[in-house]
Amino acid sequence: MTPAAKILDLQRIGYNYGQIKALSGVSITVEKGPVGLLGPNGAGKSTLLRLLLGFLTIQEGQGKVMGYDVAREKTRVRQIVGYMPEDESYVPGIDGVTLTALLGELSGMPRQEAMKRAHDVLFYVGLEESRYRRVESYSKGMRQRLKLAQALVHDPQLILLDEPTSGLDPQGREEILELITDISNHGVQVLVSSHILPDIEETCQEVIILNQGQVAAQGNLQELKKLNYNLYELKVAGEAAPFLAKLQERGCRWEQEEDLWKLYLPRELSPRVIFELAVEEKVQVRHLVKSQSRLEDLFAQVVGEEE
Amino acid sequence: MSIRKKGYSHWEGQLKESAFVAWFPLTRLGIKLAFQKRFFKLFFFSAFLPALIFLAGIYVSERMEDFRFMIQGQPSFLQITPNYFKAYFTNSFFLFLLVLMMIFVGSGLIADDLKFKALQLYFARPLRKVDYLLGKMATLGFFLLLLSLIPGWIFVLFKLVFAGNFAFLRSYPWLPLAVVAYSLILTLFFAIYTLTLSALSSNSRHVALMIFGIYLASDIIFGIFYQNFHHPYLVLLSLKLNLQQVGAALFGEKLFYPVPWGWSLLLLIMLMGLGLAILNRRIRSVEVVK
């Protein structure tokens, strides 16, 4: 890593699949991880990761990963980055330790070192008992761990994790998240791409929210939660529709959760206006509580609809 | 319960950046996987039988007096000339053995990587497309050269050893180079042919059928047309005959058909070029669905 390099420094990145615009004007700066890349399916998360690894060629803009130019220094980037793909991917016919060592060697590790390190990382991710089993006999959860192990084998400075908990049972998910936190605590920069919001909340301080190929929000998670809107939980009696329409005219957004309304009130708007409009529209406010914004709320607020 | 028996630890070593390192592990893996296949070991050792028979022929040729009873009436049969090498390298059975070798070793080389999405694992490393292809090609090259270049050189070497002089090399000083050239042409052609077909499907069985089917079909189509039209240029339709024409020319022997061998070589080069273009298009780190 070049001195004082940022993890990511992307300037106006654009990428189209033919006529379909996948990313447009994406500018992201991340000083240090762990960072979450959040967005609904089709938001452009995987495309962004593929651009960072040089799998796809940037069509507009420019980007640096750990100080290295993504377009001109692909090889260098790939040497210092570990990638855990979303898809199930492996080489059939070989055991876990051989596969992991092979990928370490392809990263530039000496053969014996790669084999030794493969044992270490497989032990670390909890596959010590299954190291010598052929990878096609692994369960989904074991393959997920194997993908994490191969991403770590060459001791990268940054790991890109694409949907790391996808398809895991709750215990497996917890274990993977625990590993991600531990890796991050040991000085490896981590970028987690996920549409599972609690995964990001559990592992990351920084978050980038992508929507329709553009950055919808970016920053410190705690700071972002404080931005723009105050979240209230509201219950009303009476005809709610005109009341909510009036709130919307004032810049509020709302969602219904069973008999409860989640109300995003612009920061400049006093909650008093809720009572004023309620009186005006002859509805009764039965319950009004200021709520701590969770990532789901932030996600819904920025993206517009929850997955 | 934590699955971490110990925390994450860093690796203290230094990553190498040598180009050799980039593709060699893939070659080693390909060779290892080939030997894991059922019946491959049996086939592998059987494939050396023609070479052993030709080697025995060289021995017999130098001990003609001892073996005269065996070769009555066929004194020219065991004259070790470039024609003897042509007979080994261009005989249909030998070329068919190479095709079978490609089916065993090469049908899954890229097809399996496509099926199990291994390309993204490889290309997330400092591995270029050319390194990947070199790694796969070297796997095939290992087996092809073992059956062509190595026996060819052993024939020359044993001829010199059995004869006890260098008369053979003085008569045909270019022969070792012809062995190298033809072995390389066979290796390059069959390697690119196999990898191209392997990259066209993610099912290695389909690839095996294609490797066998196209090679055989090209010869059958030639046979059908030749029977009807008797035009020698129809030889260009057959992969096998094109290889044989080039082989005969390189060993300085009479061509199988009266067609300039340059045409066959040109056609093989064009096919290899087409194969490389297809490989360049098909080998991607990610599937891009437009």
User: DSSP letter at A292?
Assistant: P
Q: Residues B38-64: pLDDT tens digits?
A: 899 999 999 999 999 999 999 888 887
What is the least distance, in Å, from the CA of B117 to any CA of chain A?
A: 5
Chain B residues within an 8 Å CB radius of A88: 116-117
What is the least distance, in Å, from the CA of A304 to any CA of chain B?
A: 26
For residue B232, being part of any structural domain is answered with: yes
B141: Cα within 13 Å, side-chain hemisphere: 15
User: DSSP letter at A134?
Assistant: B
Per-residue confidence band for A66, with pLDDT thresholds at 50, 70 and 90: very high
Nearest to A92 among B112, B127, B285 (CB): B112
Nearest to A154 among B15, B25, B289 (CB): B15
What is the least distance, in Å, from the CA of A207 to any CA of chain B?
A: 24
Per-residue confidence band for A306, with pLDDT thresholds at 50, 70 and 90: very low
Two tokens at B48?
């050396």
For residue B72, being part of any structural domain is answered with: no
Q: With beta carbons less than 8 A apart as the criterion, state whether A232 and A277 touch.
A: no
For residue B11, being part of any structural domain is answered with: no
Q: What mean pLDDT is predicted for residues A151-176? A: 92
For residue B139, being part of any structural domain is answered with: yes
For residue B268, being part of any structural domain is answered with: yes
Structural domain range at position B111: 20-64+79-282
Per-residue confidence band for A113, with pLDDT thresholds at 50, 70 and 90: very high
Q: Residues B185-229: pLDDT tens digits?
A: 999 999 999 999 999 999 999 999 999 999 999 999 999 999 999
For residue B71, being part of any structural domain is answered with: no
What's the confidence (pLDDT) of residue A250?
85
Chain B residues within an 8 Å CB radius of A79: 15, 17, 125-126
Q: Residues A253-276: pLDDT tens digits?
A: 787 777 888 888 887 888 899 999
Q: What mean pLDDT is predicted for residues B64-85? A: 73
Domain count, chain B: 1
Two tokens at A61?
């803009």
Percentage of chain A beyond pLDDT 70 is: 92
Is the model more confident about A231 or about A8?
A8
Residue in B126, B10, B285, B115 with CA at minimum distance from that of residue A49: B285
For residue B182, being part of any structural domain is answered with: yes
Q: What mean pLDDT is predicted for residues A7-34? A: 89
Q: Is the Cβ pair A17, B289 closer than 8 Å?
A: yes
Two tokens at A223?
């700071």
Which chain B residue's Cα is nearest to A149?
B8
What's the confidence (pLDDT) of residue B285?
66
- With 50 as the cut, is the pLDDT of residue B289 above it? no
Residue in B164, B18, B15, B182 with CA at minimum distance from that of residue B90: B182
Which chain B residue's Cα is nearest to A116?
B11
Two tokens at B251?
């060993």
Domains in chain A: ranges and CATH: 32-57+74-224 (3.40.50.300), 228-303 (3.30.70.100)
Q: Is the Cβ pair B289, A85 closer than 8 Å?
A: no
ipTM entry = 0.87
- With 90 as the cut, is the pLDDT of residue B95 above it? yes
Percentage of chain B beyond pLDDT 90 is: 80
Chain A residues within an 8 Å CB radius of B6: 123-124
Q: Residues B128-145: pLDDT tens digits?
A: 999 999 999 999 999 999
Q: Is the Cβ pair B121, A128 closer than 8 Å?
A: no
Average model confidence (pLDDT) across chain A:
87
Q: Is B168 exposed, middle or buried (0-12, 13-18, 19+ CB in 10 A)?
A: middle
Chain B residues within an 8 Å CB radius of A18: 290
